[in-house]
Amino acid sequence: MSVAHRALQIRLPPLPSIKDVIRLYKLRALRELSQNFLLEPRLIDKIVRAAGNIQNNIVCEVGPGPGGITRSIIQQAPRKVILVEKDPRFLPTLELLGDACKDKVDIDIITGDILHTDVAHFIPPDVKVGWNDPPPPVNLIGNLPFSVSTILIIRWLEAISRQEGAWSFGRVRMTLTFQKEVAERMSAPILHKQRCRLSVMCQNWCNVKYKFDIPGSAFLPKPEVDVGVVTLTPLKQPIIKLPFKLVEKVVRQIFSMRQKYSIRGAQTLFPEEIREEMALKMYNIADLDPVTRPYQITNSEFGRLCEAYKAIITEHPDLEKYDYRAPKKKVITENLDEEIM
Ligand code: SAM
């Protein structure tokens, strides 16, 4: 870290360690909220450093919990910190932290569910830049709860595709933790054993960087899996320039039979009676070999398949409504995490 950067750090008054905060406030971790607290300042700082220089930035942290990452963020002298935490038990500890730095950083604490919170309401309008400009001074950071991380990233990708919510301010960057396997999936290139729908979707709208691992043993309580830290920067232009829902549908069906020839999955985009004929037509239009396996298909080839699917549904509008999963919908919602992979 440069001397100039170090000089601009904020010094917090002496505070109890996060371990002591958890003990003093009797903050027993709740499994249903995927609460695994990171205690080690060195690893916490490493996550915050992965976000780059956040000095004078607007930083939104998802799930601050007892505030370990929040402290590290504040020390980097951001302009404003927006905290979204579902568990109200953390409010006193976060307010204490807010009081400790109230003259230096503006802090908004929102007790709510990130899946139902539009952080755009808390971002000052003057930071807005154009989509093709360098990213605005706004960062989303979070040691995400496992229970919502995949659903959240899919929702945020959709918001990015529409330049809505936080992304109405420009190409806002994210520094987030995921279960290691999910982080690998998000960043997996073609031929990788973890290449899946999530890889294609994340990489279609973002530059995805798998930064480093955090062992499960660094958390309290220790989760069964290790954690991967990922940064995502929205691309100026997605590789597949089509609506999110259309891309998601095509990619999902093609990956529904990951080990088979990809045309087998593509057939499930169409009703049974015309399935083989239409999928072959789709591959012909896309000029792609039907025996390619899903994990061998690049994003731009997926783009050709999506364009071909679009051409077919434009010619036969009734086919657009066909949903292979429709009769199984209930089971799918219950297994959302599995389904998203
Ligand atoms: N940031 C803390 C740390 O690193 O030690 C806690 C991380 S813990 C893995 C996840 C945090 O997200 C918990 O504080 C939990 O209460 C919170 N959380 C869980 N579900 C949430 C949701 N839907 N919206 C906002 N926060 C949520």
SS3 readout for the chain: CCHHHHHCCCCCCCCCCHHHHHHHCCCCCCHHHCCCEECCHHHHHHHHHHCCCCCCCEEEEECCCCCHHHHHHHHCCCCEEEEEECCHHHHHHHHHHHHHCCCCCEEEEEECCHHHCCHHHHCCHHHCCCCCCCCCCEEEEECCCHHHHHHHHHHHHHHHHHCCHHHHHCCCEEEEEEEHHHHHHHHCCCCCCCCCHHHHHHHHHEEEEEEEEECHHHEECCCCCCEEEEEEEECCCCCCCCCHHHHHHHHHHHHCCCCCCHHHHHHCCCCHHHHHHHHHHHHHHHCCCCCCCHHHCCHHHHHHHHHHHHHHHHHCHHHHHCCCCHHHHHHHHHCHHHHHC
Per-residue pLDDT, 328: 56
What atom of ligand 1 comes closest to residue 146's alpha carbon? 9
C-beta 84 within 6 A of ligand 1:
yes
C-beta 272 within 6 A of ligand 1:
no
User: Residue 154 — pLDDT band, cuts 50, 70, 90?
Assistant: very high
In the predicted model, is pLDDT for residue 247 greater than 70? yes
Asked if the domains at 3-234 and 256-339 fall in one CATH topology, the answer is no
- Which CATH code of 2.60.120.330, 3.30.70.1050, 3.40.50.150, 3.40.50.300 fits the domain covering 3-234? 3.40.50.150
Q: For ligand 1, atom 19, which residue shows the shortest CA distance?
A: 33
In the predicted model, is pLDDT for residue 338 greater than 90? no
User: Residue 7 — pLDDT band, cuts 50, 70, 90?
Assistant: low
- Specify the range with the lowest mean pLDDT, choosing from 7-16, 74-83, 249-258: 7-16
Cα-Cα-Cα-Cα dihedral sign, residues 143, 256, 202, 245: negative
Rounded to whole angstroms, the Cα distance separating 314 from 185 reads 32
Domain ranges of the chain: 3-234, 256-339
C-beta 67 within 6 A of ligand 1:
no
Mean pLDDT (the chain, rounded): 93
C-beta 219 within 6 A of ligand 1:
no
C-beta 105 within 6 A of ligand 1:
no
> Over pLDDT 70: what percentage of the chain?
94
Rounded to whole angstroms, the Cα distance separating 250 from 256 reads 10
C-beta 249 within 6 A of ligand 1:
no
Ligand 1 midpoint to CA 114 (Å): 9
C-beta 33 within 6 A of ligand 1:
yes
C-beta 36 within 6 A of ligand 1:
yes
Q: Residue 141: beta bridge partners?
A: 61, 175
- Specify the range with the lowest mean pLDDT, choosing from 26-30, 238-242, 278-282: 26-30
Pairing of strands 206-214, 219-220: unpaired
- Give this prediction's pTM: 0.93
Tokens representing 210 are: 């798998």
Ligand 1 midpoint to CA 35 (Å): 6
What atom of ligand 1 comes closest to residue 113's alpha carbon? 24
Q: For ligand 1, atom 12, which residue shows the shortest CA distance?
A: 63
143 annotated binding-site participant? yes
68 annotated binding-site participant? no
Q: What integer is the mean pLDDT of 9-35?
A: 90
- Euclidean distance between the first and final Cα of the chain, in Å? 38
- Given a contact cutoff of 8 angstroms between Cβ atoms, the answer to whether 45 and 71 are in contact is no
95 annotated binding-site participant? no
Domain 256-339 belongs in CATH node 1.10.8.100: yes
Q: For ligand 1, atom 22, which residue shows the shortest CA distance?
A: 113
289 annotated binding-site participant? no
